[in-house]
Amino acid sequence: MARIAGVNLPNEKRVEIGLTYIFGIGPSRAAKILEKTGVSSDVRVKELTEKEVALLRREVEQEVVEGDLRRQVQSSIQRLKDINCYRGTRHKRRLPVRGQRTRSNARTWKGPRPAKAGKKR
């Protein structure tokens, strides 16, 4: 089992898919990392040699991933809240931030609808 950036990559998956288990690495970034290191994307994680794992680990360390990226995102949201911009106030109120309608949707953010008396019939 390969461990890169503090994440255990699943053995049975292809390397290209396994790298996407790391927060901050999607399919396109995984493909670029494999291209830079010269590792084949068709190889399974369990078939990687120690040398290939070390190459991948070194390349992933150059990217902002996992804990550092989570902290960066959280601090960006906190900055918006602190300066009281529109997006910051939407984050504070736990409402959609990117202009979605809230009259009929946004149930994920707003939670379940409050019960109304006599609504069953």
Tens of pLDDT, residue by residue over 98-119, are 999 998 888 888 888 888 888 7
pLDDT of 56 above 80: yes
pTM, two decimal places:
0.80
pLDDT of residue 74: 96
Please report which confidence band the pLDDT of residue 121 belongs to, taking 50, 70 and 90 as the band edges: low
- What are the C-alpha distances in Å from 93 to residues 81, 83, 86, 121? 10, 15, 11, 33
Task: Map out the domains of the chain as residue ranges.
Answer: 3-63, 67-110
Asked whether the domain spanning 67-110 has the same topology as the one spanning 3-63, the reply is: no
Contact yes or no for 22/49 (Cβ under 8 A): no
pLDDT of residue 44: 94
Cβ atoms within 10 Å of 5's Cβ, excluding its own: 20
67-110 maps to CATH 3.40.50.1110: no
Domain 3-63 fold is: Helicase, Ruva Protein; domain 3 (1.10.8)
pLDDT of 78 above 90: yes
What is the rounded distance in angstroms from the CA atom of residue 33 to the CA atom of residue 54? 13
